[in-house]
Amino acid sequence: MKYIFLLLAILVFQASSAQDPRLLDTWYLQNVIVDGQDNFPPENGELSFVSAQFFETEFFTAVCDAISGSISYDLINPEFHINVGMTLLGCTLQVNADFQLIYLDEFWFNHQDDAFSYEIVDGSNNSKVLTVTNILGSQAIYGNELLSNDDFTASQFSIHPNPVKNELFLTSKNPARNLTIKIFNIEGKLLSTRNLEFEKQVSLDVSSLSSSIYFLNIEDKNGNKTVKKFVKN
């Protein structure tokens, strides 16, 4: 009987010491700190944002090239190991190529035999900050939402249905003028651009997209933007 209690105690300890469930989400890179120097992700026509995804057993992040593979979490400490491969796609713009050498190669890929530690801090309005630290002390800092102009609030727009199969509806509380609508895939690659004006609602054909997670970037003529995440079935 004592062995049964011991086994149960071990299982309870492991369950309570597994990875923070808040980690299992899509995170948006804000900064990479190497040797005390800030390296902010570029934002341009080739690259709108850099995201990272943590799953139960898999990890994915990309700039132009991408790294993906398995992830295993420490049952005691807030740490994990990754075993990944790299998909070489190449950047057209040199600023993106330079950044991905720092972020993908130097921070992630070159240290996949070592443990990465992480910390999640809750902020206001359900915001969270994730800090991942590699063995050299370099840090990748993420947020759980894309930053946008406070005056161009996300609550002005809504999308449905989500998940979507063929037709995605974008609804605005006010008449929408001179909007640029862009769809990005999870790697931050621009897939389509459309200029729109509508009163309350407009439909977007997403039937040609493969099943995955996408981001709808809504930008007005003044450069204010908000981003909506949707799932394509």
CATH 2.60.40.3080 range(s) for the chain read 154-232
SS3 content of the chain, % helix, strand, coil (to 5): 15, 45, 35
C-alpha dist (Å) from residue 171 to 80, 166, 184: 41, 16, 19
pLDDT, position 2: 47
pTM over the 0.85 mark = no
CATH 2.40.128.270 range(s) for the chain read 22-143
pLDDT, position 105: 94
Q: Are strands 167-172 and 201-205 parallel, antiparallel or unpaired?
A: antiparallel
On whether the CB atoms of residues 32 and 107 are closer than 8 A, the answer is yes
Adjacent-strand bridge partners of 94? none
pLDDT, position 11: 43
On whether the CB atoms of residues 219 and 228 are closer than 8 A, the answer is no
pLDDT, position 148: 52
Report which of 124, 114, 143 is spatially closest to residue 49, judged by C-alpha positions: 143
**185-223 burial by CB neighbour count: b if 16+ within 10 A, else e?**
bbbbeeeeeeeeeeeeebebebeebeeeebbbbbbbeee
- Which two tokens mark 153? 């609030």
pLDDT, position 152: 52
Positions of the chain with pLDDT lower than 70, given as ranges:
1-19, 147-155
Q: What is the Cα 90 distance to its own chain's centre?
A: 20
Quickly tell me which residue has 């709108």 as its tokens. Answer: 48
Coil, helix or strand at residue 44:
coil
pLDDT, position 6: 44
pLDDT, position 17: 42
pLDDT, position 81: 95
On whether the CB atoms of residues 75 and 122 are closer than 8 A, the answer is no
pLDDT, position 18: 54
pLDDT, position 167: 95
Fold of the domain built from segment(s) 154-232: Immunoglobulin-like (2.60.40)
Domain 22-143, CATH 3.40.50.970 — does that match? no
Residue 31 sits at the vertex; the CA angle it makes with 38 and 103, to the nearest 5 degrees, is: 90
